[in-house]
């Protein structure tokens, strides 16, 4: 079997106050892309008005600059995805819906597929939770 063209893809919804993300957020995404850790496939700004109305803008329509990025699968996030993720955005808030391919996992996914294997479960522990547990463990050991 040949290597898979794409690795696993994740949709990540990152909320922020106001109608634009801090430039540091875009820089962080771009550093992951530049390092080859992820490939940015799609990026949509999701906003919810104070009255609860959702609106969606592809990144180029939202006026957010992401460098010299060619998102070859722009539009990959479906209307259903946008509405489902958008339901989590609080009124008066905006978010970015990032569709990223996990480039680090392409080889593993290819080998699993080759051997008829597959991932049956995974759990993501949010960074703030990990840091809180580590800080608490360090405090106890000191």
pLDDT tens readout for residues 50-79? 999 999 988 766 555 555 556 666 778 889
Q: List helix spans (H) across the chain.
A: 23-34, 59-62, 79-86, 106-114, 127-141
| Rounded distance between C-alpha atoms, residue 75 and residue 43, angstroms | 8
Residue 125: per-residue pLDDT: 87
**19 confidence band (pLDDT: 50, 70, 90):** confident
Tokens in use for 39?
């490939």
Domain positions in the chain are 9-141
Entry pTM: 0.78
| Rounded distance between C-alpha atoms, residue 1 and residue 86, angstroms | 38
What are the distances in angstroms from CA 96 to CA 38, 44, 138? 16, 6, 34
């Amino acid at each position: 079997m040949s290597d898979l063209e794409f690795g696993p893809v994740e949709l990540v919804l990152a909320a922020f106050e106001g109608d634009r993300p801090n430039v540091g957020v875009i820089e962080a995404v771009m550093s992951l892309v530049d390092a080859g850790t992820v490939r940015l496939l799609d990026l949509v700004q999701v906003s919810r008005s104070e009255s609860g109305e959702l609106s969606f803008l592809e990144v180029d329509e939202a006026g957010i600059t992401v460098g010299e990025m060619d998102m070859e699968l722009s539009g990959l996030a479906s209307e259903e995805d946008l509405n489902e993720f958008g339901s989590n955005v609080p009124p008066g808030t905006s978010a970015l819906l990032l569709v990223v391919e996990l480039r680090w996992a392409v080889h593993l996914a290819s080998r699993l597929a080759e051997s008829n294997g597959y991932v049956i479960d995974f759990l993501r522990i949010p960074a703030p939770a990990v840091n809180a547990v580590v800080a608490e463990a360090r405090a106890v050991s000191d």
